[in-house]
Structure 1
Amino acid sequence: MTKRLQAFSVHLLTATGAVFALLAMFAAARQDWSLMYIWLVVALAVDGIDGPLARHYEVKSYAPQWDGVLMDLIIDFLTYVFIPAFALVESGLLPGWAGWFTAILITFSSVVYFADTRMKTSDNSFSGFPGCWNMVILVFFATEPAWWTVIGLSVILALAQFFPIKFVHPVRTDRWRAISLPAIVLWTGFAGWAAAARFDPPVLCTLGLLVTSAYLLGAGAAQQVFPPRTSGRRA
C-alpha cells in the first residue's frame, strides 16, 4: 500500500464517524437510547485512534487536499454535542423548559467553542471544557440525577468552555498519559456496559463511570494547580 493510499485510508476511517452519527440519530429517533449510545461510543473510539494514525501516516503530507481537522470537527459536533443534546430532551431525562433551556445552552455554547482557534494549549490539552457532552449526558443517563443537578452541572460546564481551565487530551497530553489513556479506555468500556444494560447498570459500572469521569474532568485543572517541577542549575 502506498503512503498516499495509507493517508487517504485514515481520512476514510475518520469519515466513518459521520456514519456512526447517523446510525445514532436513527436510534435516537426511535428512542432506543442504548443503541444510540453504543453508536456514539463506537464513534468515540474511532475519534480516539484516527488522530494518532493521521500523525503516523503523515496525512498532511500525503493526503493534504482533505482537511482531516475540519472533518473531525464536523463529526465531533454531531456526536459530542448535537445528538446528546437531542437525547437529553427527547428521553425525558430533563423534560419541559429545563430540557429545552439546557439543550439550547449546550448547542449554542459548543458551536462557539468549536470555532475557537485557541482551544488547544501548548501541551496538547484543551483550554476550557472541550464540549464532550456525549460523555456527560451518558453519565446522566446511567445515574439519573435530580433535574436541578443536571441543569447546574450543564451550566457550569458550558461556562467552563470559555475559562482558561485545562482539560487533558487522554491521547495527546504527555503529562499523566500513563493514567489518562487507561482512564479513557476504562471509561469507554464502562459506557458501553451501561448502554448494553439499557442504562440500569450494576453498581460497579456506575462507580467506574463516576471515577473515570471525575479524573478526566479534573486532571487538567490539577496539573495547573500542581505544575511539573523544573530542575534548575545555578550559574
Structure 2
Amino acid sequence: MWPRTRALSVHLLTATGAVFAMFSLLAAVEGNWSWMFLWLLAALAVDGIDGPLARRWDVTLHAARFDGVMLDLIIDYLTYVFIPVYALYASGLVPGWAGWGILTVVPFAGALYFADVRMKTEDASFEGFPGCWNMVALVVFVLEPNPWLTLVVSILLSVAMFLPLRFVHPVRTDRWRPLTLAVTLAWLGLAFAAAWGEFGLGRVAGWAFAAASAYLLLAGIAQQALGRRRLA
C-alpha cells in the first residue's frame, strides 16, 4: 500500500501547480504582477521537484490511473505560456501591435510545442526552446526592453521551439550539471528577489540575473556545438 500511496502523492503534488496557476491568474487580472510571478515561481518549484520524485517512486507503475506527463503538460502550458504572455500585454510592457503579435504567435507556437513528442533528446535535454515564457516574461519585467525588441525575440524563440537546437534541462542534463544546477538556483533566488521587490534588482544583481538567464538559454546550444566540433 505504501508504494501506491507514495506514488499517488506525486500526482497530488503536480496538481497543486494548477492551484498556483489559478492564484497567479487572479493576481494578473488584478494587476498584481509581483504576486503573479511569486505564484508562477511556486509552480516552477513544483515542476522541478515532481519529476525526480515520479521517477524515484515508479509513478507509472504504482499510480498508473493518472497520466503524470499529461497532467504536467497541461499545467506547464498555463504557467509557462498562457499566463506570462497575458501579463506581457496586460501590464503594458508590450502594448499595441507588438503586444497583439506576442498574443498571437507565442500561445499558438506553445500549444504545438507542448504536444511535440520529440521535445526531449537522448541526454534529457530539450529539442528546441522549451517554452519557458514565464522566465522570459520575468526578464522583460526586470529589464523593460523596447516592446518591438521583445516581439522580435519572442518570434525568434517561437521558431527555435521547432529547430534542432538543444537547451539544457536544469535537473536532468548530465553535462555541466553542477554548474547548471548552481546557475538555476541562483536564477531562482534572483527571480524571487525581483518579484518580491517589484522587479528592482539593482545594477549588480540585475547583471547577474541577465547572465544566469543567458547561460540557461545558451548552454545547451554551446554543448551541441562542442559535440559537433569533436565529431568533425
Deviation of 1:125 after TM superposition, in Å, equals 0.5
Distance of aligned partners of 1:214 and 1:100 in 2 relative to their CA distance in 1, 3 Å threshold = same
User: Would the aligned equivalents of 1:193 and 1:205 in 2 still touch at CA under 8 Å?
Assistant: no
User: Would the aligned equivalents of 1:106 and 1:158 in 2 still touch at CA under 8 Å?
Assistant: yes
Letter in 1 for 2:42: V
Deviation of 1:229 after TM superposition, in Å, equals 9.6
CA distance in structure 2 between the partners assigned to 1:58 and 1:203 by the alignment: 45
CA distance in structure 2 between the partners assigned to 1:113 and 1:205 by the alignment: 32
Report the identity percentage: 54
Establish whether residue 219 from structure 1 lines up as the match of residue 187 from structure 2: no
Establish whether residue 103 from structure 1 lines up as the match of residue 98 from structure 2: no
* Partner in structure 2 of residue 150 of structure 1: 150
| Aligned length in residues | 230
Establish whether residue 164 from structure 1 lines up as the match of residue 164 from structure 2: yes
1:20-54, CA deviations, whole angstroms, 9 ceiling, x for partnerless residues?
00000000000000000000011101100110011
User: Would the aligned equivalents of 1:113 and 1:119 in 2 still touch at CA under 8 Å?
Assistant: yes
Deviation of 1:17 after TM superposition, in Å, equals 0.2
CA distance in structure 2 between the partners assigned to 1:127 and 1:118 by the alignment: 7
Establish whether residue 61 from structure 1 lines up as the match of residue 61 from structure 2: yes
* Partner in structure 1 of residue 17 of structure 2: 17
Structure 1 segments of 4+ aligned residues over 2 angstroms from their partners: none
* Partner in structure 2 of residue 87 of structure 1: 87
Q: How high is the TM-score relative to the length of structure 1?
A: 0.95
1:187-223, CA deviations, whole angstroms, 9 ceiling, x for partnerless residues?
1111110001111222232112111111000011001
CA distance in structure 2 between the partners assigned to 1:176 and 1:45 by the alignment: 21
* Partner in structure 1 of residue 47 of structure 2: 47
CA distance in structure 2 between the partners assigned to 1:45 and 1:159 by the alignment: 27
CA distance in structure 2 between the partners assigned to 1:25 and 1:73 by the alignment: 17
Helix, strand or coil for the counterpart of 1:226?
helix
RMSD value, Cα: 1.3
User: Would the aligned equivalents of 1:28 and 1:87 in 2 still touch at CA under 8 Å?
Assistant: yes
Helix, strand or coil for the counterpart of 2:209?
helix
Gap runs ≥5 in structure 1: 231-235
CA distance in structure 1 between the partners assigned to 2:207 and 2:52 by the alignment: 30
Letter in 1 for 2:212: T
CA distance in structure 2 between the partners assigned to 1:105 and 1:130 by the alignment: 15
* Partner in structure 2 of residue 200 of structure 1: 200
* Partner in structure 2 of residue 233 of structure 1: none
Deviation of 1:59 after TM superposition, in Å, equals 0.5
CA distance in structure 1 between the partners assigned to 2:229 and 2:58 by the alignment: 33
- Give 1:220-235 correspondences, 5 Å limit: 220-227=220-227
Letter in 2 for 1:136: V
Letter in 2 for 1:16: T
User: Would the aligned equivalents of 1:194 and 1:205 in 2 still touch at CA under 8 Å?
Assistant: no
CA distance in structure 1 between the partners assigned to 2:210 and 2:138 by the alignment: 11
* Partner in structure 2 of residue 177 of structure 1: 177
Letter in 2 for 1:110: G
Deviation of 1:148 after TM superposition, in Å, equals 2.1
1:53-108, CA deviations, whole angstroms, 9 ceiling, x for partnerless residues?
11111101110111000000000000000000100110000111110111211100
Gap runs ≥5 in structure 2: none
Establish whether residue 188 from structure 1 lines up as the match of residue 188 from structure 2: yes
